[in-house]
Structure 1
Amino acid sequence: MVEQHKTIIGQLIRFGLVGGFVTGLYAVVYSPLAGLGIVTPQIANLAGYFVAMVTGYVLHSRWSFRDHGTRDNTARTTSRFFVVSLVSLGLNALFVFILTAPNMLAGPWWWPLVPILFVTPLVTFSLNRLWVFA
């Protein structure tokens, strides 16, 4: 039981480090595009998503969840990771819409970064651990 808790804690720490890095990449792409008005916040969200998804798959599969599950079916793992990344995209798009759309809260471009930094990673960690890399 103690060993299982250590494993989960290790995965959570690695996921947090990689997730922080990947989320930072997302913010680096999203912020100038949305903040400078180069594109709409939703298009900036999509651009950030693509960068984060590709980087996240490589780092999470090779490091975050390296000791968890099997890698005998790469196609299954990859397709499940893609589904979870679509959940992530959907959550982030929802946050961007609710917090920045003129017919919703009409907040500044940076408001969605708060739930994107704190809510989305918790959801994706759970899905990756329990389903993708199980």
Structure 2
Amino acid sequence: MSTQLGRYAIAGAVAAALYSLIYLIFADKLLPQGEAEFAVVPAFLASLLLSFQLHSRWSFAGHGSRNEKVRLPLRFLVVQAAGLVTNVALTYLVTKVLMEPNWVALPPTLILTPLLTFAAQRIWVFR
């Protein structure tokens, strides 16, 4: 499991870099000031597409069955939808309620959500 967690962390770091780049472009440049939670959606969707490929082909390669051609992607999407909701909520809390700069929302979303989704993916998606 430690090798798997290491691969998950590397793949996650790549997806997190993409998420951060897209989030900051939208939050700081493309959206009106104070609307950073809306930047989560395009950032999350882009990193979702990348992370599914990385995790299914590398992080969780050889773990569990790949015979579920429909159920596996659906379960992955359910877990990621929960991650999206978590990131929107954290971003809203940090940028609207606490009134912190947009970048301050990145650390909690890049630490908490991956830990939660790793557990859910290992137990429920790639079992």
Task: List gaps (5 residues or longer) in structure 1.
Answer: 1-7
Matched, 1:112 2:110: no
Matched, 1:22 2:19: no
Task: List gaps (5 residues or longer) in structure 2.
Answer: none
Letter in 1 for 2:117: T
Letter in 2 for 1:44: A
Residue-by-residue CA offset, 1:57-116 (whole Å, 9 max, x unaligned): 111001100021000012100000000110110110011110011xx1111111110101
Letter in 2 for 1:108: P
1:88 matched to which residue of 2? Answer: 83
2:123 matched to which residue of 1? Answer: 130
The answer to whether the 8 A contact 1:15-1:60 is kept is yes
1:77 matched to which residue of 2? Answer: 72
Cα displacement (A) at 1:118: 1.1
Cα displacement (A) at 1:117: 1.5
1:35 matched to which residue of 2? Answer: 28
Give the TM-score taking structure 2 as reference length: 0.94
Mark the structure with the bigger radius of gyration. Answer: 1
CA distance in 1, matches of 2:38, 2:110: 18
Letter in 2 for 1:13: G
Q: Among the aligned pairs, what percent are the same residue?
A: 34
CA distance in 2, matches of 1:11, 1:91: 24
Letter in 2 for 1:120: T
Give the TM-score taking structure 1 as reference length: 0.89
Aligned residues: 124
Q: In angstroms, what is the RMSD of aligned CA positions?
A: 0.8
1:12 matched to which residue of 2? Answer: 5
